[in-house]
Amino acid sequence: MHIRTGDIVEVIAGDSKDVKGKVLHIDRDKGKITVEGVGKVYKHVRKSQRNPQGGRLSKEMPIQISNVLLMCPKCGRGVRTGVKLLANGNKQRICRKCEGSLGEITRAKQKSSK
């Protein structure tokens, strides 16, 4: 998966097109992603002990992961990503436009001594 929780992404399709936000949650089984400030809906709640006021609560709903692109800090916009293998064995996400680094994916595997 090319996107992780905490990344900044840009929405490229839907009602919230061109909106940038932070990834809050990823559901890999369903292929959905929850982005801060994107896909807001109102949930009407009844008065209760938990919610004494009642009324409408605003919450973010998940969107398709294919509708977002990872933001490149160097380019300043959403870009496609690739993977580059470093000399020490680590994998690194890279921007397809400027070849800039977007952070490491995995750490080098420890060799077990038998």
Class of residue 39 by CB neighbours under 10 A (exposed 0-12, middle 13-18, buried 19+)? buried
Distance of alpha carbon 20 from alpha carbon 23, whole angstroms: 10
pLDDT in tens, 20-70: 999 999 999 999 999 999 989 999 999 999 889 989 989 999 999 999 999
User: What is the residue extent of each domain of the chain?
Assistant: 8-106
Q: What is the pTM of this model?
A: 0.76
Instruction: Using the structure block, give the residue that is written with the tokens 């977002």.
Output: 68
The CATH class of 8-106 is mainly beta
Residues facing residue 78 across a β-bridge:
71
